[in-house]
């Protein structure tokens, strides 16, 4: 009996990577994860092999991917924190791409972001564009997926908005709140990643759900779903960031970054393309009202503190 197809997933102990790995396993495929936290408990009961995401050793990275058909790359950083910077993340991903090519990986499925641009003043979006360019020139077969905002069990942004709405008397919306976004369910994104891995064509596709919200409408919907009586107010963006920093000091985390706020208000989390996800955020919120926002989800604990 031939061994099943081998796939590599960066960050299978994280959020998006975990959902991709789970679906690959359900299809009977073998999975190895490259992770920056190899000592963490394996949530897959050993069914996922573990190798360190060692960007300082290209040969070791390549050896970890030998025999794999596809690399599913979810690696990135949400913010500059210590030595984990956007510039370093771009360089690290370049190393990962070269290692995949050396290992003989046939295809890379890369998670990017909507509306990225090399000319963007925001390092988050500019870095994503630089990586897309490098992947396109790598010689590897590729599929680049551009999600706007990802929601689902274990996400950070939607969960923490709900957490604030449940616990504080006010919630601050930066500016008018009229800027729009188009969220996609993490399970839909994971399935899309697996589907495009089987397509041999090079492609770039937005990952967006069936609903478009203004941020203001989204917050009001979430407040209704979780039974919040918080007063929703509008503040200047700089004051919203200060308030987020204050909450961050209480929970020991970075609640909101400048890039996230600027990108959101500039409409960079919106796509006019066709829906590529089926799950409605409105339905999911009311179905999961008891669990969403039940606990604060710390970005620093999840990704930056060892």
CATH of the domain at 130: 3.40.50.720
Strands of 188-301, DSSP E: 203-207, 213-214, 231-235
pLDDT tops 90 at residue 302: no
State which residues form the domain around 220. Answer: 157-181+211-298
Which residue among 128, 147, 166 closes a domain? Answer: 147
Number of compact structural domains in the chain: 2
Percent of the chain with pLDDT over 90: 91
Asked if residue 275 and residue 222 are part of one domain, the reply reads yes
pLDDT, mean of residues 3-31: 94
Asked if residue 114 and residue 20 are part of one domain, the reply reads yes
Asked if residue 141 and residue 93 are part of one domain, the reply reads yes
Q: Within a domain: residue 303?
A: no
Asked if residue 71 and residue 23 are part of one domain, the reply reads yes
Higher pLDDT, 305 or 143: 143
152-185 CB burial, b ≥16 within 10 A, e <16: beebbbbbbbbbbbbeeeebbbbbebebbbbbbb
Asked if residue 258 and residue 143 are part of one domain, the reply reads no
The whole-angstrom separation of Cα 149 and Cα 185 is 9
Tell me the per-residue pLDDT of 80-107, one tens digit each, with 9 for 90 and over: 888 889 999 999 999 999 999 999 999 9
Asked if residue 162 and residue 104 are part of one domain, the reply reads no
Q: Within a domain: residue 12?
A: yes
pLDDT, mean of residues 222-243: 97
Residue with tokens 């955020």: 281
Which residue among 147, 169, 191 closes a domain? Answer: 147
Do residues 26 and 121 touch, judged by C-beta distance below 8 A? Answer: no
Do residues 258 and 306 touch, judged by C-beta distance below 8 A? Answer: no
Model-level pTM? 0.95
Q: Within a domain: residue 228?
A: yes
Total residue length of the chain: 306
User: Which DSSP symbol is given to 25?
Assistant: H
Tell me the per-residue pLDDT of 39-68, one tens digit each, with 9 for 90 and over: 888 889 989 999 999 999 999 999 999 999
Give the mean pLDDT of the chain.
95
pLDDT tops 60 at residue 130: yes
pLDDT, mean of residues 7-30: 96
Asked if residue 284 and residue 165 are part of one domain, the reply reads yes
DSSP H helix total and E strand total for the chain = 11, 13
Higher pLDDT, 191 or 304: 191
Do residues 150 and 209 touch, judged by C-beta distance below 8 A? Answer: no
Per-residue model confidence (pLDDT) at position 41: 86
Q: Within a domain: residue 186?
A: no
Per-residue model confidence (pLDDT) at position 82: 85
Asked if residue 23 and residue 49 are part of one domain, the reply reads yes
Asked if residue 65 and residue 109 are part of one domain, the reply reads yes
Per-residue model confidence (pLDDT) at position 1: 47
Asked if residue 269 and residue 167 are part of one domain, the reply reads yes
Residue from 269, 116, 107 nearest 184 by CA: 269
The CATH code of the domain that includes 280 is 3.90.25.10
């Amino acid at each position: 009996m031939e061994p099943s197809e081998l796939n590599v997933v960066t960050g299978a102990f994280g959020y998006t990577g975990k959902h991709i790995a789970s679906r690959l396993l359900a299809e009977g495929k073998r999975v190895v994860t490259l992770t920056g936290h190899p000592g963490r408990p394996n949530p897959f009961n050993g069914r996922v092999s573990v190798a360190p995401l060692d960007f300082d050793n290209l040969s070791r990275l390549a050896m970890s991917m030998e025999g794999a058909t596809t690399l599913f790359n979810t690696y990135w950083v949400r913010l500059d924190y210590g030595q984990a910077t956007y510039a370093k993340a771009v360089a690290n991903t370049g190393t990962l791409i070269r290692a995949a090519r050396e290992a003989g990986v046939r295809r890379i499925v890369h998670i990017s972001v909507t509306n990225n641009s090399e000319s963007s003043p925001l390092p988050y979006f500019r870095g994503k564009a630089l990586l897309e360019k490098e992947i396109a020139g790598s010689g590897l077969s590729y599929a680049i997926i551009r999600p706007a905002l990802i929601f689902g069990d274990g996400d950070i942004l939607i969960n923490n908005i709900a957490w604030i709405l449940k616990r504080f008397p006010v919630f601050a919306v930066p500016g008018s709140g009229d800027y729009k976004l188009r969220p996609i369910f993490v399970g839909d994104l994971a399935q899309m990643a697996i589907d495009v891995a089987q397509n041999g064509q090079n492609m770039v596709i937005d990952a967006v759900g069936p609903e478009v919200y203004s941020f203001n409408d989204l917050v009001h919907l979430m407040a209704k779903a979780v039974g919040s009586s918080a007063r929703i107010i509008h503040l200047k963006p700089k004051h919203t960031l200060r308030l987020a920093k204050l909450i961050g000091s209480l929970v020991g985390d970075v609640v909101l970054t400048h890039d996230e706020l600027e990108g959101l208000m500039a409409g960079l989390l919106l796509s006019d393309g066709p829906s590529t996800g089926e799950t409605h955020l409105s339905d999911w919120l009311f179905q999961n009202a008891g669990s969403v926002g039940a606990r604060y989800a710390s970005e620093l604990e999840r990704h930056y503190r060892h």
